[in-house]
């Protein structure tokens, strides 16, 4: 088999593609509308870029709201805060989700934190 080479000219546009882990895409069962925009999925791959500082900030949000949990990373509110930071969507986006989607989100985030797929 002969390998073809692509000719690169001044007009050639270089595009960098970012690989997205399909396991980090959460597809909604039904489209979700937030602030007039319809969402069919969210990309949670940004969880991989979070740090301990983000986890501490999430804990502070829980503390300010009077929430208490022996295992905060298992709570829905904690998952919403981390998802908000990972996706750059406002926390209100996650607070307005359907209950079943909220549980799926919590499971996705806690699964990520505990190393599950």
**Is the pTM of the predicted complex or chain greater than 0.85?**
no
Confidence (pLDDT) at 13: 55
Confidence (pLDDT) at 10: 60
Confidence (pLDDT) at 18: 47
Burial 87-105 (b: 16+ CB within 10 A, else e): bebeeebbeebeeebbebb
Judge residue 39's burial from the number of C-beta atoms within 10 Å of its C-beta, 0-12 exposed, 13-18 middle, 19 or more buried: middle
The pLDDT tens digits along the chain (117 residues) read 455 555 555 655 555 444 455 689 999 999 999 999 999 999 999 999 999 999 999 999 989 988 877 888 899 999 999 999 999 999 999 999 999 999 999 999 999 999 855
Matching residue, tokens 């908000």: 84
Helix locations, the chain, DSSP H: 52-64, 76-87, 91-95, 99-113
């Amino acid at each position: 088999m002969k390998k073809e080479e692509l000719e690169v000219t001044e007009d050639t546009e270089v595009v960098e593609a970012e690989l997205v882990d399909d396991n980090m895409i959460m597809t909604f069962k039904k489209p979700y509308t937030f602030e007039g925009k319809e969402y069919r999925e969210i990309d949670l791959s940004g969880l991989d870029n979070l740090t301990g500082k983000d986890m501490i900030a999430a804990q502070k949000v829980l503390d300010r709201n009077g929430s208490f949990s022996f295992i905060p990373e298992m709570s829905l509110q904690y998952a919403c805060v981390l998802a908000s930071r990972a996706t750059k969507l406002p926390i209100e986006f996650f607070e307005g989700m359907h209950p079943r989607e909220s549980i799926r989100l919590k499971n996705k985030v806690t699964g990520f934190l505990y190393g599950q797929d």
